[in-house]
Amino acid sequence: VYGLIRATRYPMLGICGGHQLLAKAFGAQVAPTKRISQAAGYAGCWREKGFVSLRVAAKDPLLAGLPERLSLWENHCEEVKSLPKGFLLLVRGDKSRRQAVRHSSSKVYGVQFHPEIFNGAHPHGKVILLNFLKLAGVVGRPPDAQER
């Protein structure tokens, strides 16, 4: 799977676990954000969940039309611990630092947050999805996204 991810010539958007898989394919470590107990598995991990304030770290077409402060939905307890080789950091967070990344020479993106979850008070995820569909050359309306 890692070889297929590294070899793709198509636009790609890895969301949450897909972001982590993408990072691992390019040599980055993925591990729990923080352990809060000795309980096994995810039960012992701190979870970042809900709409979280994030900051744009670099301009990119994926973030076109967005302010420097973003409000995006999170639901994870693992994170990408280092920037994958050949990637640029686009969005950073206070708890999980590498929130959005892009390969330096392709349209391969990873986002830790869930852009598919948005609402009227938190529309930034919708803008990111629409921007990606434009980058990917998809014509027409995006698939229905879940609103919360």
Return the structure tokens found at 1.
């799977």
Return the structure tokens found at 141.
């309306």
Q: Is 114 marked active-site?
A: yes
Q: Is 76 marked active-site?
A: no
Find the catalytic residue in 103, 114, 122, 124: 114
Find the catalytic residue in 16, 79, 103, 124: 16
Find the catalytic residue in 77, 116, 122, 124: 116
Residue 74, strand partner residues: 50
Cβ(70)–Cβ(46) below 8 Å: no
Q: Compute the CA torsion angle 13, 17, 21, 22 (nearest 10 deg).
A: 20
pLDDT tens for the 148 residues of the chain, in order: 888 888 888 999 999 999 999 999 999 999 888 877 887 777 778 788 999 999 999 999 999 999 999 999 999 989 999 999 999 999 999 988 999 999 999 999 999 999 999 999 999 999 999 999 999 998 554 455 555 5
